[in-house]
Every structure is written in C-alpha cells, then in structure tokens.
C-alpha cells in the first residue's frame, strides 16, 4: 500500500478543527486531526512530499522521517508537531483499516471500554470561538439572542466587560452535572482575576478572592462526588498562584492546571511541592522530551498531553508509560472535533494511568453531526464508548463539515 495524496480541510468550530486525510493506491483513506496553528495547512502541504509513495503502515519510520525532514528548520518542538500529530493519527487509521481492527488494539489493547469525559466549562459561560491567534471571532453557528456570548480576545488588555459571577459557575456546573458528567473544569483566569496589569503575572488579593468565590460556587453546587479541575492558562507567578492554590485546597480539586508557564520547570516544581492540590500541565508541551523533566522531577502530579499536538499516539504512549513509572495519571487535553476526540479515546483506552479526557465543545451545536457511524450523541452520560470498527472507527460527515468549512482554506482538494 502506498500513500498517493495528502489533503486538508479546516472546519470552524469553537477553534479551527484542522483535518488531514491520507489517500492510498488501495482506496483506503486515513483521517487525522491537528491542533490549530497559524499557517498549519501550508505546513501540512509542505510535508506531503515526505509521505507520498510511502507505505502508511511504517508508522514509526514515517514519524522519524517527518521529524528529520523538519529538524533543519529548528523544529525540535512547536507547531510542526501539530501537523505531524494529525498525519500520525491518519497513519494509525490506515493501519487499523488495513488489518480490520480498531486503533486501540494496535496500541496493545484496552484497559477500559468506555472513556470518562470531563466537560470544560470555561468561565461559566457557554459560547466561545477563537481564531488561530486566540482572537475572539463571531462564529457562524453562534446563537443569536441573549444566550449568545462572544469571548474577549484570550490574551488581551483588561476590559470592562461583564464579569463571570458565582451564579454563572453554579448554573454551568449544575447543567453539566445534569448531562451526566462526573468531572468538570472551570477557568480561574476570567476577567476580574487578571489583576491590574494583564502582562505581569501578578494577582491582587481582591482578584484572588473573586476567583476563589467562583470556584466555591461550583463546588457548592455539585457536591463532593463531581470532580472539579481549575485552569489558570499559565498566567501567574509561583508566589501568587500558591496563595490561590492554598485557598482552593478545601475544595478538593481534581487538579489545578497550568498555574505558571509550563516551560518553567523550577516554577512548576515549586508550586507542586508547596500546595495540597495536584498540579497539572502538558497541553503546550511537545514530544517525550517535553515531558521528561517535569515527570522525572515530579514538577507536576497530573500530565495533560494533547493528542493533536504532542507528536502523535506513539509519543503519547511513551509519555504515559513514563508517567506511570512515576505513579502519575494522564488526563489528555482536547479541544478537537469528534475525530480528534476519538483518536484520543483510543489512546485513553490503551494506558493504565488514564484519568479523564477533555470535551471542550458543548456549545458547538454541530459537534456530534460532524461524524457518522457512531452513537449519537457520541458522549453519553459523560462517557464515550470505544468504537469497534476498524481504524479510527468513524466517518467524517463531509456535508456538515463543508457547511462550516473555514473560508479561504482547501476542503480536501
């Protein structure tokens, strides 16, 4: 079997869901999804010559070939791997289809047949749509009327927009619990908690009190049996975020995510050692090498690789194995469509130390309609049942995908 074409399509969900399709001379087509990035489809097209004519079943060798081919550009990490992650997933899909088995079988089989999903609840509001440089954009699918909410640019100046309230957090927590989710994640870094200066990583006492009040409301609403994680998006300095974490200790969080920049191992380690809350990081780290130090030094307590970014399924398995040796659970970050979510689900089934997989698109009305051939909705009572069909186990609904395709991008052409 030989790869004959690499094609891409971008669907405008709450993020740019970027698909890569590998076509073969035997008629099989493999599908993968990449985490969004500026210029991503151009990178994918640049990589096409490296896989044309290759046997897609040589996954590890092709990964190495892509790695070597991009190393001269200095890409020892970074958005090249958003592209490679999608290609690698498409290779596993092809291998599974060619052998007639689901991807999780190729990864060594399963520890569980349904995958626990946690619901990202943002800042208590429902809708958010960001472009590839985290600017807020109006999405075509955003509801009109009072329920509509367009987020501010993710990293921007302090604005006087209405702040989230404890009631927002309470309502959102109860709504997601009612859908059956047993784990939720809320943002701590919402307007009101960025301090007077959005760039200096400093938190005022008032900002801390405000943020703690939001999390307290969510915890009070759902009780102790629903897990709650809290995300800081690498905004703060260690000293101030330790103050936050200590006040969060009574709420018995599942984890506190990205309290400080993930590339700062010393700062992470400082926070993790000082507080009685599990510190999690990983969504911005690449390859095994990106996780090696933070795991070996116990700078975190939970690792959160993103399957559409980290380098692929095999890389993620090596990270999970190393984390398991260090007795750490893995909770993959995920903002993808059902395609990337299922890729992650196969991985989650195959590792012993799985904790929960993220779902970030509860506000996108067509999320479930993007794929066919699986239960609808895909997430039922907070779990995804692992598909048994060959490969990834899902078919992209191209009619729906085309309806929300990003203008100016190719659509599998």
Residues that bind Mg ion (CB under 5 A): 231, 257
**What sign results for the dihedral spanned by CA atoms 177, 183, 187, 188?**
positive
Q: How far is the CB of 121 from Mg ion (least distance, A)?
A: 12
Q: Using the minimum distance from each CB to Mg ion, give the nearer residue, 93 or 231.
A: 231
User: Nearest CA to 259 among 306, 270, 360, 249?
Assistant: 270
Q: Using the minimum distance from each CB to Mg ion, give the nearer residue, 231 or 270.
A: 231
Q: How far is the CB of 141 from Mg ion (least distance, A)?
A: 23
Q: How far is the CB of 74 from Mg ion (least distance, A)?
A: 26
Please give the helix or strand (H or E) that residue 17 lies within, else none. strand 16-24
Q: How far is the CB of 290 from Mg ion (least distance, A)?
A: 15
Report the C-alpha gap between 79 and 373 in whole angstroms: 31
Q: Using the minimum distance from each CB to Mg ion, give the nearer residue, 226 or 281.
A: 281
Whether the CB-CB separation of 287 and 81 falls below 8 Å is answered with yes
Q: How far is the CB of 134 from Mg ion (least distance, A)?
A: 13
Place of tokens 């007077």: 196
| Residues 6 or more apart in contact with residue 106 via CB below 8 angstroms | 92, 95, 96, 99
Q: Where are the beta strands (DSSP E) in 146-259?
A: 183-187, 227-231, 255-257
Report the C-alpha gap between 249 and 272 in whole angstroms: 13
Q: Using the minimum distance from each CB to Mg ion, give the nearer residue, 104 or 169.
A: 169
Q: Using the minimum distance from each CB to Mg ion, give the nearer residue, 23 or 258.
A: 258
Report the C-alpha gap between 192 and 186 in whole angstroms: 15
Q: Using the minimum distance from each CB to Mg ion, give the nearer residue, 96 or 282.
A: 282
Q: How far is the CB of 187 from Mg ion (least distance, A)?
A: 8
Q: Using the minimum distance from each CB to Mg ion, give the nearer residue, 126 or 314.
A: 126
Rounded to 5 degrees, φ, ψ at 226 are: -100, 125
Q: How far is the CB of 257 from Mg ion (least distance, A)?
A: 5
Report the C-alpha gap between 359 and 362 in whole angstroms: 7
Q: Using the minimum distance from each CB to Mg ion, give the nearer residue, 186 or 354.
A: 186
Q: Using the minimum distance from each CB to Mg ion, give the nearer residue, 227 or 257.
A: 257
Find the residue with minimal CB distance to Mg ion.
Answer: 231
Give helix 313-325 / helix 80-99 axis angle, nearest 10°.
100
Integer angstrom CA distances of residue 284 from 257, 291, 333: 12, 10, 10
Q: How far is the CB of 185 from Mg ion (least distance, A)?
A: 8
| Residues 6 or more apart in contact with residue 302 via CB below 8 angstroms | 254, 255, 278, 279, 280, 328, 329, 330, 331, 355
Whether the CB-CB separation of 93 and 109 falls below 8 Å is answered with no
Buried b (16+ CB within 10 A) or exposed e, 76-114: ebebbbbbbbbbbbbbbbbbbbbeeebbbbbbeebeeeb
Q: How far is the CB of 258 from Mg ion (least distance, A)?
A: 5
Q: How far is the CB of 302 from Mg ion (least distance, A)?
A: 12
Q: Using the minimum distance from each CB to Mg ion, give the nearer residue, 194 or 231.
A: 231
């Amino acid at each position: 079997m030989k790869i004959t074409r690499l094609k891409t399509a971008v669907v405008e969900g709450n993020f740019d869901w970027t698909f890569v399709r590998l076509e073969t001379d035997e008629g099989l087509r493999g599908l993968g999804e990449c985490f969004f990035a500026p210029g991503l489809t151009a990178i994918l097209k640049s990589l096409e010559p490296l896989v044309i004519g290759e046997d897609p079943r040589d996954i590890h060798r092709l990964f190495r070939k892509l790695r070597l081919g991009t190393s001269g550009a200095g890409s020892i990490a970074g958005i090249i791997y958003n592209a490679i992650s999608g290609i690698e997933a498409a290779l596993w899909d092809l291998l599974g289809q060619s052998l007639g088995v689901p991807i999780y079988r190729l990864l060594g089989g399963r520890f569980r047949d349904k995958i626990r999903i946690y619901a990202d609840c943002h800042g208590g509001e429902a809708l958010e749509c960001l472009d590839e440089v985290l600017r807020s954009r109006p999405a075509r699918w955003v509801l009109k009327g009072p329920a509509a909410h367009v987020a501010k640019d993710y990293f921007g100046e302090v604005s006087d927009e209405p702040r989230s309230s404890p009631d927002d957090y309470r309502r959102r927590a109860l709504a997601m619990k009612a859908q059956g989710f047993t784990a939720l994640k809320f943002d701590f870094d919402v307007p009101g908690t960025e301090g007077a200066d959005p760039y200096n990583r400093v938190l005022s006492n008032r900002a801390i009190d405000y943020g703690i009040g939001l999390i307290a409301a969510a915890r009070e609403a759902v009780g102790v049996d629903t897990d709650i994680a809290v995300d800081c998006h690498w905004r703060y300095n260690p000293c101030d975020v330790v103050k936050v974490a200590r006040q969060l200790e009574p709420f018995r969080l599942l984890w506190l995510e990205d309290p400080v920049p993930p590339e700062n191992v010393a700062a992470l380690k400082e926070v993790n050692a000082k507080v009685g809350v599990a510190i999690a990081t990983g969504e911005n780290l690449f390859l095994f090498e990106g996780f090696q130090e933070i795991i070996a030094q116990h700078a975190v307590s939970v690792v959160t690789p993103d399957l559409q970014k980290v380098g692929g399924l095999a890389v993620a398995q090596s990270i999970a194995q190393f984390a398991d040796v260090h007795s750490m659970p893995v909770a993959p970050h995920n903002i993808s469509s059902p395609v990337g979510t299922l890729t992650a689900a196969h991985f989650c089934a195959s590792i012993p130390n799985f904790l929960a997989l993220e779902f970030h698109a509860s506000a996108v009305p067509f999320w479930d309609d993007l794929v066919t051939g699986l239960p609808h909705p895909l997430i039922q009572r907070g779990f995804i049942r692992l598909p048994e069909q060959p490969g990834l186990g899902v078919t992209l609904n191209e009619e729906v995908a085309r309806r929300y395709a990003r203008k100016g991008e190719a659509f599998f052409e």
